[in-house]
Amino acid sequence: MATESPAGESPSRGKRADAQRNRQTVLAAAAEVFVISGVDAPIRQIAARAGVGMATIYRHFPTRADLVTAVYRHQIEECAEAGPDLLASADSPFDALSQWIDLFVDFLVTKHGLADALQSDSDRFTALHAYFLDRLLPVCTQLLDAAVEAGDIRPGTQAYELMRGIGNLCIGRDNDPRYNPRRLIALLLQGLQRPQAS
């Protein structure tokens, strides 16, 4: 019979919970490091940010591609889950859309170097891209529809077009520190808005 911990958890369940927490901590730390240093950042830098040993990272993610893929999927999920939450809490559907696009831009910036990291595994990249579209297109569509229904923006903008346009505006940020895609994205969002009646 398994012994119970004081909290009523079996030791194996406690270990699984610790392992899951460690995994989430590593993913969050890796995402932060990738924003600053790209996906080629040293594993020791990620371990230091997460407060874990390098062995912990390799236990969860045996290869760099495994880690990059997991970070990518984790961020897709965060972005997908944020949409409905923002719609419920923002002052208007347009504010929710704007805040979600800000998160989406953070996500795109973190993708820096992803294609190179996964070059040797194009099937993995194709699957990730399909997952990205499956999870985020419906969320963007929901936000756009709500903003149209509220009269905040003009109808007719497709989620794929908007996401693709934002992605294209983010290209070049890595090569030119003077370029800030957020300024152009703000102009793009202004262009979506309906003129307010005076």
pTM of the model: 0.79
Are 173 and 179 spatial neighbours (Cβ–Cβ below 8 Å)?
yes
Give 179: exposed, middle or buried? Use CB within 10 Å, 0-12, 13-18, 19+: middle
Rounded Cα distance, 94 and 91, in Å: 8
The CA angle 78-145-170, to the nearest 5 degrees, is: 50
Task: Give counts: helices (H), strands (E), the chain.
Answer: 9, 0
Q: Quick one: how far is CA 146 from the chain centroid? A: 22
Q: Is the pLDDT of residue 198 over 60?
A: no
The owner of tokens 């399909």 is 130
What's the pLDDT tens digit per position in 22-68?
Answer: 899 999 999 889 878 888 899 999 999 999 999 999 999 999 889 98
Rounded Cα distance, 193 and 187, in Å: 10
Rounded Cα distance, 79 and 140, in Å: 10
What's the pLDDT tens digit per position in 107-142?
Answer: 887 676 665 665 556 677 788 888 999 999 999 999
Domain parsing of the chain, residue ranges: 1-62, 64-198
- Which CATH topology does 1-62 take? Arc Repressor Mutant, subunit A (1.10.10)
Q: Kindly report the CATH class assigned to 64-198.
A: mainly alpha
Residue at 48: amino acid letter: A
